[in-house]
Amino acid sequence: MKEKKIMPKEDLRKLQLIELEMLLEVDRICRENKIRYMISSGTLLGAVRHKGFIPWDDDLDTYMLREDFEKFCEEWNKDADKDKFFLQTYKTDPEYRWGYAKIRRKGTEYLRDGQEAIKCMSGVSMDIFILDYIPDSIPQAWMYHVIRRACIKTLWSVVGVTEDPVAWKRGLYHVLRHVPKTVPLGIMEKLAKKSDKKPSKRLYCISFYRKSGFSKKKKISQEGIPSEWFHEFIDIEFEGFQFMTIKNYMEYLSNKYNNMWDAPLKSQQLIHPPKRYNFDVEINLRGRCVEEYMNHEYLYLTEEDWKKERTVKAV
């Protein structure tokens, strides 16, 4: 088994701050143009439990409704700091293989171990997952799930052909990697456009799939996020700044994580192993002292701490 490269804590913290700088740029464009987004997943969990990044987290996740993302792309092209940042989609980078978007920090290098076969622009990134409607019809929802999973597996095939531990799956990926990426990407785009013509009760990212997605623990009618949650947005503190999320963020987190207040075991506090990286860029956090951010102590709030803070704010 090949040895995985370990990232020192100070390098992980710099990675987080570069991601924070990108989020600040996304937030600026969204607020100036009345575009909605939410920090999500582990980033939102970090905002609640740590008031910033989870100490071992190397990702930064956001969600946007497709209508907001399309408007965001228009405004990004007009106003973003393109000397620093690159909006990466399969339309802006011919080698990019995913249906969701990333913001990349130019001048950095960050390649995850095992993903050398993906030849798109690399570098530190944050994710923008685009949400589309899930059909309310159970048979239709299953059909969408099967189709999108097949598309995502096809796109992943260039990595899976060498990285999947199961021999027969590597053989399947060997066949799938010869399918032009425009085929699965085109199919998912058609699925999205079709579902968005008829708003439904729930939303999900058609182009992203986790093994925990359609599990035995949930009925297919319970998958995704209730679309009614995207009617109201609030600000939440993250690394000393205010960012957008949905008003029902605690319901979202409780639904996503079995026990959001319990830290995983040390052995489970893992980051994605890097193949190589270079973070030698200057970071601008709206004029704040980056050195103080580098040297800060991670907070760890309990559920009781959070409730007390909410009570004080209410008063």
Q: Kind and range of the H or E element at 202?
A: strand 202-204
**Tens of pLDDT along 208-250?**
876 444 344 555 556 789 999 999 999 999 999 999 999 999 9
Q: Which amino acid is at 137?
A: S
Residues of the chain with pLDDT under 50: 1, 211-216, 315
Tokens of 73: 């792309």
139 occurs within a structural domain: no
32 occurs within a structural domain: yes
199 occurs within a structural domain: no
48 occurs within a structural domain: yes
204 occurs within a structural domain: no
Q: Which amino acid is at 214?
A: F
State how far the Cα of 196 lies from the Cα of 211, in Å rounded to an integer.
24
Q: What is the pLDDT of residue 108?
A: 97
Q: Which amino acid is at 177?
A: R
30 occurs within a structural domain: yes
50 occurs within a structural domain: yes
Give the number of residues written for the chain: 315
State how far the Cα of 76 lies from the Cα of 90, in Å rounded to an integer.
16
**118-to-15, 272, 289 alpha-carbon distances in Å:** 21, 16, 36
Return the sign of the alpha-carbon dihedral for residues 26, 231, 218, 196.
Answer: negative
Q: What is the pLDDT of residue 219?
A: 59
Q: What is the pLDDT of residue 140?
A: 92
Cβ 117 vs Cβ 162: under 8 Å: yes
155 occurs within a structural domain: no
Domain of residue 280, residue span: 9-131+226-314
Tally of structural domains, the chain: 1
Q: What is the pLDDT of residue 311?
A: 66
Short-list 180, 46, 22, CA closest to 101: 22
Tokens of 217: 């623990």
Short-list 29, 34, 126, CA closest to 79: 29
